[in-house]
A and B are shown apart, each in its own frame.
Chain A
């Protein structure tokens, strides 16, 4: 491959020490490479450790074994090239939407007078230009996600890590957000690692869909290339024949894992 690899996990293993001293292995020998400009979705049953894997790529967790490389260099500490979009609300509740977006620049030392107009521009591009003065609690769940997206993107990270970012949203809002994400991503094609439990969402958004087995000690068990043409419209792409064929194929593998996931005893529940 000629394009450089943005994120490379090599035989990464993630383990946690449980309260009673036993060691719980969440992910075993994960091997995953995300090329520059590539949109990769990780799908797996609940508790398979997909978020864990993302946290490893972010540097929030250290793998127990194996290595993490970011643009060919081993990752030390936090991943400074990555922007992270969290599943839960992660906005600063005491800052307005505008300040929440501007903070990404202010941290780097951009003067406030510079940061504010740029933040306003980003808010406009996620469709919230008129909501700059609102505090997070005055925004709907979907609007908060838009602000979070602008907060991450304003720093122009080379890699985007997304942990079921649209999970808490209702079905329509999710599709709208998906389209917004694709539009923004199309502008400069960052490397994206997108975790979701929704296979349809994964196929509609991604270039590659990676399937993980049920935990504990879950592994990557499948890797499909999605060759649907871009730019895509999430509403349209779901009607495509190829979409259905691919969905059926991946689901036949994923289904067994989902069933296994439900059959797991309680202690195997996702440990993060």
Chain B
């Protein structure tokens, strides 16, 4: 199938959905409106709400806050994950001692921490960053831990036979291996950073996309809720696209799945 054809079909899906939505929420079928506007709004209202946000410029502030929270959560969580992952992988005793606690904390649904963070860190951005960090940290931590532990025995022996010291093995073998595992989970961890930020905002804040949605919901402004959702998905898709670009640069040395092994 040609690219053009594919694109046409993809757009067709959106058009059909929107037309159905608009029709079912405005035109009665057998004397009844199937999607009552109070619960489902309609595409036109949602769209005009989005236009209003961008036209008045209020949305930029909220987007900026959510973006800042996500970036901070990602950076802090990744740094922590890399350091602790490395440390645990190189010190099996430490890893064994902390193992049950790591499992315990990771098993906890992170949302329940949100009120605690709000209590400790207030309603500003840091309570959201903290929530994102707890999500990002574990993904990066597990990946780096795995990456360091699963360095190929042969590659390691090769490094030793080439005369590498422990420090050089760290720099040329363990570190790149761990980073490649971290990068391979980049999409997931960036996604979770955004989830942490938005959920945190939703549960209590004064700004951000999550706040916007929560505010709209509070006054039964369904159009506002849907509009917030659409802006949020566009935001996440943009970020994800950025991650894909970064990944393509950072992981050039890795075979892609379709390429297989030569």
Contact = CB atoms under 8 A, between A and B. Distances in A.
A90 B180 contact: no
Interface stretch (B17-25, B99-107, B157-165): B157-165
B254 A93 contact: yes
A86 interface: yes
A138 B161 CA distance: 24
B173 A137 contact: no
Contacts of A78: 160-161
Mostly helix, strand, loop or mixed at chain B's interface? helix
Contacts of B109: none
A86 B158 contact: yes
B157 A92 contact: no
A263 to B, nearest CB: 30
Nearest to B261: A137
Contact of A90 (B154, B176, B177): B154
A82 B162 contact: no
Contacts of A152: 162
A254 to B, nearest CB: 27
A108 B262 contact: no
Nearest to B169: A107
Contacts of A155: 162-163
A95 interface: yes
Contacts of A83: 161
A137 B161 contact: no
Given A107-B168, A137-B261, A155-B163, A90 B158 contact: yes
Interface residues of A, number: 32
Contacts of A63: none
Interface residues of B, number: 24
A107 B173 contact: no
Contact of B162 (A104, A136, A140): A104
Nearest to B177: A94
A81 B76 CA distance: 45
A84 B76 CA distance: 41
A138 to B, nearest CB: 7
A57 B180 CA distance: 33
A247 B248 CA distance: 52
A86 B154 contact: yes
A14 interface: no
- Of A83, A94, A135, A140, chain B has the most CB atoms within 10 Å of the CB of A94
A139 B262 contact: yes
B163 A80 contact: yes
B253 A94 contact: yes
B57 interface: no
Contacts of B163: 80, 104, 107-108, 155
Interface string B237-262: 00000000000000011110001011
15 contacts: A60-B160, A84-B161, A86-B158, A90-B154, A91-B155, A92-B158, A92-B172, A92-B173, A93-B253, A96-B253, A103-B162, A104-B163, A135-B254, A139-B262, A155-B163
Interface of B: 152, 154-155, 157-164, 168, 172-173, 176-177, 180, 252-255, 259, 261-262
Interface of A: 58, 60, 78-80, 82-84, 86, 88-96, 103-104, 107-108, 135-141, 151-152, 155
Task: Give 3 closest A-B pairs by Cβ, nearest first.
Answer: A90-B158, A137-B255, A135-B253
